[in-house]
Amino acid sequence: MSQLGEENISAIPVIIVSVRNNEEDIVSGLEAGADDYITKPFNPRVLAARVRALLRRYRRGLSEGEEVLTFNDLVIHPGRREVLYKKVPVKLTYSEFCILHLLARRPGWAFTRYRIVDAVRGENHVVTERAVDVQIVGLRKKLGDAGTCIKTVRGVGYTFKE
């Protein structure tokens, strides 16, 4: 994959299917840029489900575009999946980034926990409401002072205030 150049493959979902199943090979494949790594033998239904999940995320990423969102000292680069606070990169998990981006694209809108789960994990993904709350707590903590822009809407979910 490194021969193709990171700029050419960064947005294309990649699943490695390999007979190599030791930890070092798996970690190496994922660190090289793969989105998933499946070892043989595998269940074809599991592979198909993983492909569908990656394609959902890929299509969602295409529709999100490259518009940079800026709120005072908080900058969100969707195309780079990067967040800066006071010009310092903030390391977020995939889920945390998706939640922040979802909320920040529509400041003032109240999103239910179910809508947040659907946006991050796809429809029909079962998680408890508290899982979203835990992600929000972690996100607020990582954002520091900027974390106060994520507000709880009692009985509904969360919103983003500029």
pLDDT tens per residue, range 59-101: 665 555 568 888 989 999 988 889 999 999 999 888 899 999 9
Dist. CA 111–CA 39, nearest whole Å: 38
Query: Poorest-confidence range of 76-80, 91-95, 128-132, 138-142?
Result: 128-132
Q: Where in the chain is the domain with CATH 3.40.50.2300?
A: 6-63
For strands 150-153 and 157-160, give the pairing. Answer: antiparallel
45: phi then psi, degrees, rounded to nearest 5: -65, -35
CA-closest candidate to residue 148, choices 31, 139, 119: 139
SS3 state at 91: coil
pTM of the model: 0.60
CATH superfamily name and code, 6-63? Response regulator (3.40.50.2300)
β-bridge partners, 76: 69, 83
Three-class DSSP labels, 25-69? HHHHHHHCCCCEEEECCCCHHHHHHHHHHHHHHHHHHHHHCCCCE
pLDDT in tens, 26-46: 888 877 777 788 889 989 998
End-to-end CA distance of the chain: 40
The reply to whether CATH 3.40.50.2020 applies to domain 66-160 is no
Do residues 146 and 85 lie in contact, with contact meaning Cβ atoms separated by under 8 Å?
Answer: yes
3-state secondary structure of 21: coil
Residue 123 clears pLDDT 70, i.e. is over it: no
pLDDT of residue 147: 93
Angle, alpha carbons 97-48-118 (nearest 5°)? 35
Give the model's pLDDT for residue 4.
Answer: 42
Backbone angles phi, psi at 76, to 5 degrees: -120, 120
Which backbone phi and psi does 89 adopt, to 5 degrees?
-60, 140
**Chain-wide mean pLDDT for the chain?**
82
